[in-house]
Amino acid sequence: MASKAFLIETAKKRIEALMQLSADAAMHGSKYSSRYTELAEQIRKHYRLKKDRRFLFCKFCLMPLVPGKTCTVKIASSKSFVIYKCIKCGHELKLHY
Ligand SMILES: [Zn+2]
């Protein structure tokens, strides 16, 4: 049986590969981008890993947030937030900086 560290490392690699696929699919307008994100989230939740801030996605429609393609980016400097707005569903993701 594989060790826990090996399983977690493998899960992280799979999540990274799936999120790259998801971003590429979103760039080319493929319908599978949300599915790749869904699979990555299932793996992340199974192994109880933290969210990786390198890979942003809309939590309602699971669309990867690619600036200029699937989301708009706005800086609210007075509140110290970067706001990513999903083009598909309009949900806003606010990240503190
Ligand atoms: Zn959305």
| E strands present in the chain | 71-76, 81-86, 92-96
Q: Compute, in angstroms, the gap from residue 78 CA to the centroid of ligand 1.
A: 25
pTM: 0.85
pLDDT reading at 53 higher than 90: no
CA distance 30 to 36: 11
pLDDT reading at 89 higher than 80: yes
Q: Compute, in angstroms, the gap from residue 55 CA to the centroid of ligand 1.
A: 14
- Strands 81-86 and 92-96 turn out to be antiparallel
Tell me the residues surrounding ligand 1 (ion) with CB < 5 Å.
Answer: 58, 60-61, 86, 88-89, 91
Q: What is the pLDDT of residue 93?
A: 93
List, edge to edge, every strand of the sheet that includes 92-96: 71-76, 81-86, 92-96
Q: Compute, in angstroms, the gap from residue 6 CA to the centroid of ligand 1.
A: 33
